[in-house]
A and B are shown apart, each in its own frame.
Chain A
Amino acid sequence: MSKGFALYGRFRHVYVSPALVFVAVLLYLPFLWTAYLSFTTYDGLASPVFTGLDNYRRLFEDDALLTSVRNTLLWVVGTVVLPVGLGLLVAVLSYDLRRGSWFRLPFLLPYAMSGAGLGVIWGFILQPDGMANQILTFLGMPGGDTAFLQDGPRNTFAMIVVWTWQQLGVNMLLFVVGLQSIPKAPIEAARIDGASGWRLFRHVIWPLMRPITTVVFGLALVAGLKNFDIVWVMTQGGPGRSSETLAVTMYRDVFVADEYGYGSAVAVLLTTVTGLASYVYLRRQAGREEAR
């Protein structure tokens, strides 16, 4: 073979560079710029003025932001408990049933709808004179005059229920995939030893599901933290900023109030919380993995 022949070609880096350029220019550069802007006062027109930690100090005194943090936490807890918990329930009940996929279909239909579509449709259903209240009245149930979206934190709870209706499907699907791929031998062995029902699930199946539960819970955590579409479409964070999440607060501070610097600080806060939560969660998972 001649010395000049390069098996892997001479221009290998040319193949990675387009992807790198896209990611660098449109993701990393803006990321760094936002981090810088969070230390400035900026209205998008005049040049940014460096003001140190002022924006971050202001975060702690901002009542709207505190409400937003509370709502974001509600979203995280709500997401992990409801769509993930119920998704697990449906998956465990149906994964080894004959024709189990038919039982799963009702939960999959809403998932294919977009967050914005969900918001549009449920916004109309939950209006004060909308279908939800009319049906409660019709059934003779109390609460037929509930203002689902008018007061905090009830509006957040109402939206979490809507979110659960949509998100159960995807969590269920991931759990089913996980359940169908766990080894059968330990389960059979435990059955022969007389384990069944809850004990079989708790001590044999659940530990074997660890890889998929790590993925599903991690996803739910991040999705809960970054929630924007539903809230923006259904309430725009209102009334009176009572249903804002951090992602909505950031959007409102920047594009409604023209406070680009302060909005950037909210974005940095959201990023830090998301990063920390993911890190702590993954560390805990990894720690458990080692302990076994």
Chain B
Amino acid sequence: MSARDADGTVRRERAGAAGIARRAVLAVLGLVWLFPTYLIVANAVRPADDYDPSDAVKPPSSMGLFDNVSAAWDRTGVGGTLLSTLAYSVVSPALAVLLGALAGYAIVVLRLRHGFAWFVVIFAGTVVPFQMLLVPLFVGYSKVSLYDDHVGLVLVYTAISVPLAALVMRNFFGSVAVSIFEAARLDGASTFRIFWRIYLPLSSAALAAVFILEFTYVWNDLLFGLTLSQSESVRPVWAELSALTTDVYAGTPVPIALAAGLVVSLPTVVLFLATQRLFTRGLTLAQL
């Protein structure tokens, strides 16, 4: 009896020493990771005139973030791009989630014939590398005047978002009891009414997870924005801001560029940190 106790104590002490070592390694690595974060924030906050690369580590003496942001707005077209970027990031994922849910509903609940094959057709869309789409979309969009058009970008963003939405919604609807559907049906509800009034509200958590994931994706897009738009009023924000590192905006003071990059990242940073659990679950779901 006492031997077991002693054994247990020894083990616990060993775990304690190991625990300290683990914490130490994590803390050191964490500090290494925080250092660039600090550099970026400190120098985005620093007034542009005070910036000196050799003093970059020093904390800023005064608050210049808002001046830097407004200077970035004046120098680049960021301001004009934000509203359309927000529209893309809300409309396309919302549409994709709805279409994915409709497809999942038909395949799982309505037992569409060859449903699995149709599902594979929709989901396999995620495998296509975007480089395979650029030329035809660019040429095709120019022909039907969707190039440099809000609608054109909404359509592309929706199309690339649909497969994930279909996957998650198909998996989710599979876990809902069939008896709910049958009972409602025998009570005389139409299949669409059952979808709209029962299945869609039931799945709000899954819908939200997919929406957030895809919102982030569309907000952060660079490739389609560069390829399919050119005017400030259509171009998404990162396609516009990416020009900061090129000759177009040569001579932009560092704090102004950092401030712009930081502020435009803010919506996704906040969304991500606020919904970390949901996000991870969505990510895991997305890869299955």
Which of the four size classes fits the interface of chain B? Answer: 35 or more
> Among the interface residues A94, A131, A264, which one has the most CB atoms of the partner chain B within 10 A?
A131
- B15-55 vs A, Cβ < 8 Å mask (1 yes, 0 no): 00011001101110111011011011001000000000110
Find chain A residues with CB under 8 A from B288 CB. 215
Find chain A residues with CB under 8 A from B238 CB. 114, 116-117
Cα(A135)–Cα(B159), bound, Å: 45
**A27 and B261 contact, Cβ closer than 8 Å, known pairs A170-B283, A177-B284, A254-B135:** no
B112 close to chain A: CB less than 8 A: yes
A247 close to chain B: CB less than 8 A: yes
A124 to chain B, nearest CB (A): 5
Which of the four size classes fits the interface of chain A? Answer: 35 or more
By secondary structure, the A interface counts as: helix
Cα(A104)–Cα(B272), bound, Å: 14
**A177 and B280 contact, Cβ closer than 8 Å, known pairs A19-B102, A19-B122, A129-B53:** yes
Residues in A1-45 with C-beta less than 8 Å from chain B: 7-9, 11-16, 18-20, 22-23, 25-31, 33-35, 37, 44
B75 close to chain A: CB less than 8 A: no
**In the complex, number of A-B residue pairs with CB atoms less than 8 Å apart:** 276
- A245-278 vs B, Cβ < 8 Å mask (1 yes, 0 no): 0110011001100001001101110110011000
Cα(A6)–Cα(B25), bound, Å: 64
- A207-223 vs B, Cβ < 8 Å mask (1 yes, 0 no): 00000100100110000
Tell which of A94, A103, A117, A129 touches B261, judged by Cβ atoms closer than 8 Å: A117
Question: Is the pair B155, A20 in contact by a Cβ cutoff of 8 Å?
Answer: no
A152 close to chain B: CB less than 8 A: no
Question: Is the pair A19, B100 in contact by a Cβ cutoff of 8 Å?
Answer: yes
Residues in A93-111 with C-beta less than 8 Å from chain B: 93-94, 97, 103, 105-111
Cα(A123)–Cα(B109), bound, Å: 50
B87 close to chain A: CB less than 8 A: no
Find chain A residues with CB under 8 A from B27 CB. 103
B231 close to chain A: CB less than 8 A: no
B176 close to chain A: CB less than 8 A: no
Interface residues of A (CB under 8 A from B): 7-9, 11-16, 18-20, 22-23, 25-31, 33-35, 37, 44, 86, 90, 93-94, 97, 103, 105-117, 119-121, 123-125, 129-131, 133-135, 137-138, 165, 168, 170, 173-174, 177, 191, 196-197, 212, 215, 218-219, 226, 228-229, 232-234, 236, 246-247, 250-251, 254-255, 260, 263-264, 266-268, 270-271, 274-275
